Homo-oligomer: A and B are copies of this chain.
Amino acid sequence: MKWLTAIFLLAGMVASMRSHPRRAPARTGRPRSAEADAAILGATRAALVELGWSRLTLGDVATRAGVAKTTVYRRWSGKSELVVDAVAELFDELELPDRGSLAADIEGVVLQFAALLERPEARTALMAVVAESTTDVPLRERIRVSIVDRQKRLVLEGRARARARGELPVETDPVTAARAADLIFDMIAGAVVHRALVSCEPVDRHWVGRFTAVLLGGLGAAES
């Protein structure tokens, strides 16, 4: 059973690396306060809701969290990193219950994305950190791992279910499969984000229905 232990250890490392990637396990001295971590992330989301991205300051976050500024900087190297982690926690809640058909699952994914983009902290933060990431490669990677991949997981899950149901053919070439998944993901996520944040129109059931119809029709047509 040693391998199971190893897996959990690995999981622990991965989990701790996620939030504080390169920190050694630090055996002596006062350990960092877990409460402080939570308070800071919560304060960050609260500040995002109240102030929006551009008026949010780390000093203010520290004050809201009842924490010194140094305590924030000890954990995060800047505003972008902190906000990514604060918003990423929202994406942990994403779930895709099996709704019985590919169409229903797609609608479920879209509605989940849309609900997230209704939250003001996500609205104001997501575009901002993506904008920052155009000139900051490490940040781009952090966003991919913490946010984008968590979204994409839903799409992959839905596709796997559709295949199991026989609604989609089993793609044998992994490269082609990945390309197809990327395309679908960009189309779903892109359309929802554009509708919600650029066009600023509601992502309601009518829109979702029309969108899903076009997307599914396209998939069917393209596959045949």
Which residues of A line the B interface, CB within 8 A? 51-55, 120, 123-128, 130-132, 134-135, 140, 143, 148, 179-180, 182-183, 185-187, 189-195, 197-201, 207, 210-211, 213-222
Indicate if the CB atoms of B207 and A213 lie closer than 8 Å: no
Contacts of A54 in B (CB 8 A): 131-132, 135
Contacts of A193 in B (CB 8 A): 190, 193-194
Query: This chain: how many copies in the complex?
Result: 4
The 10 closest A-B pairs by CB, nearest first: A217-B221, A190-B194, A218-B218, A190-B190, A214-B218, A52-B135, A127-B131, A128-B131, A217-B218, A190-B191
Indicate if the CB atoms of A183 and B198 lie closer than 8 Å: no
A151 to chain B, nearest CB (A): 9
Indicate if the CB atoms of B183 and A211 lie closer than 8 Å: yes
| Residue in B127, B135, B194, B218 whose beta carbon sits within 8 Å of that of A189 in the complex | B194
Indicate if the CB atoms of B198 and A130 lie closer than 8 Å: yes
Contacts of A183 in B (CB 8 A): 207, 210-211, 214
A7 to chain B, nearest CB (A): 30
Indicate if the CB atoms of A123 and B127 lie closer than 8 Å: no
Q: How long is the Cα–Cα vector from A219 to B216 in the complex, in angstroms?
A: 10
A198 touching B189 in the complex, CB below 8 Å, given contacts A131-B128, A134-B124? yes
* Residue contacts A-B, CB under 8 angstroms, 16 given: A53-B135, A54-B135, A127-B134, A130-B198, A134-B197, A148-B199, A180-B210, A183-B214, A186-B194, A186-B198, A187-B194, A190-B191, A190-B193, A190-B198, A217-B219, A221-B221
